[in-house]
A and B are shown apart, each in its own frame.
Chain A
Amino acid sequence: MELFVFLVAGAACIIGALGVVLNSNPVHAALSLVGTLFGIAVLFIAQEANFLAAVQVIVYAGAIVVLFLFVLMLLGVDRSEDLSIEPLGAGQRIAAVIVGLAVLALPLMAFRSTEGEATGAIAGPGDANLLRAEVADVAQLGESIFTTYLFAFEVTSVLLVIAVVGAVVLARKVKRADYVEDPLVAAAEAADAP
């Protein structure tokens, strides 16, 4: 059963990821991204991270991709771009694929050399963050975040406030140049000038 789930969700992930890279239309790329995100949410459930799967669908597929689509539609940049005439030479493309294969080969070699063990350190019964089967993962996650990672959690809230302020500052239209062109202001300035 887990094999079936893994194969279907993994195929959805990889097809979606290839769709993001290969689609010439940014809207189609964003929709392919939903496939990948959903496949990863299914894989989270397969690994008993149910809360994170829900958060994945809500935050990523529900918020981030919608934000992408909003920007695409609002700016009207949803035209297709031809990948073959993108300002990128074939040499750079081959180099990018070589870099990607190197990035892929490195962890694969590591998995091969460690033979399926992460670090070999299994959390013991005395560990406060031990994943217990009888307790819901939300409860354990909350306990961990609000005790072990409390400081990181608080810093996260500061980060979000900074991000919101930064987005407002960036998205604001600069009006200062327009004021000079304003006829009333121009008339007032002309009246002031002798």
Chain B
Amino acid sequence: MKPTWAVCALGGMLAALASAFCGLACAQGLDPATLLKPTPDSWPLYHGDYSGQRHSHLTQITPANVGALTLAWAFQTGQAAQIKSSPIVVNGILYVSIPDHVWAVDARTGSQIWHYTYPPNEGLHIGHRGVALYKDSVYFTTPDDHLVSLDSKDGTVRWNVVLDDVKKGYWTSVAPLIVRNHVLVGLSGDFDNIPGMLKSIDADTGETQWTFYSTPPPGTEGSTSGGATGGNMWITGTYDPELNLVFVGTGNPTPVLAAQTRPGDNPWTCSIVALNPDTGKLTWGFQATPHDTHDWDAVEVPVLVDGSFNGSSKKMLLQASRNGYFFVLDRTSGKSLLSSPFAAVNWSNGVDKNGRPIHNPEKDPARDGRLVAPDEGGATNYRSPSFDAKTGLLIVSSRDAYGIYFSKPEHGTVGWAGADYGVFGKAVLRAIDYQTGKIRWSHDLGGEGAAAGVLTTDSGVTFTGDSARSVLALKTSDGATLWHSAIGFVGNSPITYELDGREYVIVASGSSLFAFALPEMQKKIDRRQ
């Protein structure tokens, strides 16, 4: 039957109505295209955006008013595990995780919307970095190597796929990186001699699109890893849409401290690799530590910066690496522009013509011990640095640390294959001039251990935590303290977003999230000025 005019008109109205409602209802999802230019009311990716700069353009909180910052809300998970993850915020909902748990909370108030609990499992529960969002799904990695897709509306499971076998010694803690419909997930595990990998999972179906091996499975023909396994990729990478390349750091080789069975440089362990997200093919690799024998993963955030270097315009990649070196690469080619220590380093024989530190066998773990800087925890670790373009500073939580490393044939050639002990460390926040590698300012963090990640904003404020028990706001230009609050040791990397005209800064301490903002009254005063 032919539709009558009236029916058509009614249908059109209904369709328009439906679309209006859908507009409201569907607005809760995340269009992956918006990831290219995140809105100020969101923090939709692990690093806030694809660059890894962990820098916000928000300016409500300034050096002049940050002293008035106050607690807007707190969210307590009620679990024992420390929050190490970086939350994601989309459409007024904040998603935060610890191993086996995800919460969606109201980003304005901290009240819980839903809580997802993964079943008990024997995967390693050492930490969790965060979740990822795409359309109306939340992606969550589990200790036993599953990737779970949850409905972001209510936390129900859409699908659950196995990434690899937990029995082999893998676990997962990474916050996935979303590029179009690719969910990029790296695995963890260096207690066994297993290959490191990054997998691309179809965001809609859960099917594996490709797998990149940083070290090929043993027996692979033409392998260049020199017999090394390992090189796991346990920190979220960054993405350059123009080059269509993702940049991801790789972990240490295995066996970890004993290297007699893995001669050579052991690529691509302790490296930064540039991959095509559609195919997983390697475009280039740069090894931060050739032939590592000290557990110095090069997984720290590869920060993407476009700017001037020695007078010419460059597309760069910056990394403050766990081995104590700060690297600047041309990210179109992977060629070195600068390599310079940013913390105590005594393990190398300088830097070669390609910008790679030169391995010094005298500092390899030995039967009678070798005193090595940095120690196993490294000159920095997984918590994020921040890049501030106005000052040209990469601000990183660093440590001058010494450890003593042992290895002997009796320790075998599987997994750790040695022993090491921390001796001493001192934590310092350092602001590195990216064009020279020089430290422009340092801020003593008052402890020996790793401290919090770093966030900078366009107003010239740097947020981080010290190694004692305070969250700090510092002046980005000189590192002077502007504000602090003794909420306990900050365990994650701070984020920020603005909702209803109010800028929130979120940090975690222990098992709680804390949201700081200016008092409503202060905002009115600032507006009048």
**Chain A partners chain B:** no
